[in-house]
Structure 1
């Protein structure tokens, strides 16, 4: 372990770094201009959406192409609740619970499927959701969509609207990221990893692949509902286009580029989802799709683990070989290292003999 790694592993250092990061996050909205605050808020919205997709695909290995449906569903519920003067807390809970219930029902039917079958089921969600939103015009506003303005900054706060909205995204999104991190790093996360690796092994260990697939899909649906609520906090307008299949593919690409099975990768994926179209439009608006596709291929070839794996890749490239000395020659092993293989052979021989070699030696000595 290097000195830098040892220093960063200390508890008080990690705590100090966390305090600094939190302080920067809290002060940043007060320093950025309005456009920057709105951009960062949109990144937070879609980072949460990518996080939900990561739970079901990155951590559990299920193929899901319908995550954007739950984002749009949560946005519609939020808009409908605001337009009908629901309490904002009730609206928030409904925008999470109802997508979660729909996700649970779909998962109960689809989790037993695998491969292309479950992919086809999830593809149907945005394909069916768009015309359904257009037909249910009394609830959704039809093709024109529906708007809901409910996040104007209160006068007592002294904040501008963009600052207040960004603080809401930071608070709600931060809680979601923290809860998801605890989920995937605990016993459920270990079960997700085993199911992703080999379902037969998971079953032999008493882990039900079906149960954990349903759980992962439901959690992803809940997180999608949170993202839909935050979408209305920032954008304050939604339409059937919000849940289109094209956006679902872009969300999947954002997860791959950010890093599948990574909390940090979800943040990077949200940044890609928002910033990549803006940057490619600056280059050439007619080549936006081509440039984004080329960027996706470039990341897949150079960083299969996504942008989140870049630090590990750089450490691997620049790390000095441990076996080479200053002159490039292999260092001479110490006496203890020379004797270690012999000692290991003795232990293995004793283990193979059932621990009887010591007894046999004593008998020989007595003889």
Structure 2
């Protein structure tokens, strides 16, 4: 936590902006991970909810709405739309639900162009907000990065608690076998709707952060190509992993920049090759590299053995290690 608090102060503006972008798309990947990685639903429309949250934010800021109201609406409206989609689609499975979610960005792009009074049409909307308050002594890039870390960190913490608790166990059962879930009194439909709605809400949060950092959105924001890139980022980072969502956000931002440095005309080819290499070498994504380290720490702890129990001394009343039969024989011939 201390490191995160200090880093924005020591990094240059360009680095702070890159880290902030990673935070934005890490939250977006987290929402996709919740619905695909943890509950096994095929969703190809998560970018639509990011775009919807961005448009709501841009419209609210442009009309001088209170920023707290804007944030609430940017989260709530995508969640309501996600709920309506989930109620209709959650009973479907496999390719059927995939086709429903594919329609979201495909319909969203022309709809954003048509509703020009609210979206700016093909030109999009720009909205500048999140400047550092006077008296903080911070630059704007530092303040925005702190906001991304605070809001994004809260979303990650809440999601981590969710998937590690009761709901996470239910999601895992539904993902593994819906028939088994039904046999033990769990409604797959109910929990699939819940997961999709929460993922949509998280998408709205990422849309708000997107406008905070990038300050511009257009119909291209929610294009189907970006949806596929977001899916690739989740797979490469690690499906069903909180850490994988962060790594996926880093992939989404950094890899295109690196491939453009190599050859802009080969960007798509190099990204596809990266995806194939990771799938073959690390089927569990980059997050799977951290699992052996965790097992190693647990094994080291197990080898040290448990701490001897403390029992009161009969003569002094102080706590000493419990006597073994060997010491008892030595002390009492």
Fold similarity call, TM over 0.5: yes
Asked whether 1:178 is paired with 2:157, we answer: yes
Question: Map of 1:240-255 to 2, 5 A cutoff?
Answer: 240-255=219-234
Change in 2 beyond 3 A, CA 1:198/1:237 = same
Across the aligned residues of Structure 1 and Structure 2, the Cα RMSD in angstroms comes to 1.5
Deviation per CA, 1:324-363: give whole Å up to 9, x if none. xxxxxxxxxxxxxxxxxxxxxxxxxxxxxxxxxxxxxxxx
The offset of 1:316, in angstroms, is 8.6
The correspondence for 1:233, drawn from 212, 235, 244, is 212
The correspondence for 2:76, drawn from 73, 90, 97, is 97
The offset of 1:311, in angstroms, is 2.9
In 1, the alpha carbon distance for the partners of 2:184 and 2:259 equals 48
In 1, the alpha carbon distance for the partners of 2:90 and 2:176 equals 16
The correspondence for 2:178, drawn from 179, 195, 199, is 199
Deviation per CA, 1:251-288: give whole Å up to 9, x if none. 00000000000000000000000001000011111100
In 1, the alpha carbon distance for the partners of 2:39 and 2:209 equals 25
Deviation per CA, 1:191-236: give whole Å up to 9, x if none. 0000000000000011100000000000000000000000000001
The offset of 1:157, in angstroms, is 1.1
5+ long unaligned stretches in structure 1:
1-21, 321-367
The offset of 1:312, in angstroms, is 3.0
Asked whether 1:107 is paired with 2:86, we answer: yes
In 2, the alpha carbon distance for the partners of 1:312 and 1:189 equals 19
Question: Map of 1:346-361 to 2, 5 A cutoff?
Answer: none
In 2, the alpha carbon distance for the partners of 1:130 and 1:112 equals 26
Q: How many residues align?
A: 298
TM-score scaled by length of structure 1: 0.80
5+ long unaligned stretches in structure 2:
300-333
In 1, the alpha carbon distance for the partners of 2:150 and 2:47 equals 22
- Aligned equivalent of 2:15: 36
- Aligned equivalent of 1:189: 168
Secondary structure, counterpart of 2:65 in structure 1: coil
Deviation per CA, 1:274-322: give whole Å up to 9, x if none. 00100001111110000000000000000000000013357899xx9xx
Change in 2 beyond 3 A, CA 1:169/1:315 = closer
- Aligned equivalent of 1:144: 123
In 2, the alpha carbon distance for the partners of 1:202 and 1:311 equals 30
In 1, the alpha carbon distance for the partners of 2:103 and 2:75 equals 21
In 1, the alpha carbon distance for the partners of 2:137 and 2:123 equals 34
Question: Map of 1:101-140 to 2, 5 A cutoff?
Answer: 101-140=80-119
- Aligned equivalent of 1:80: 59
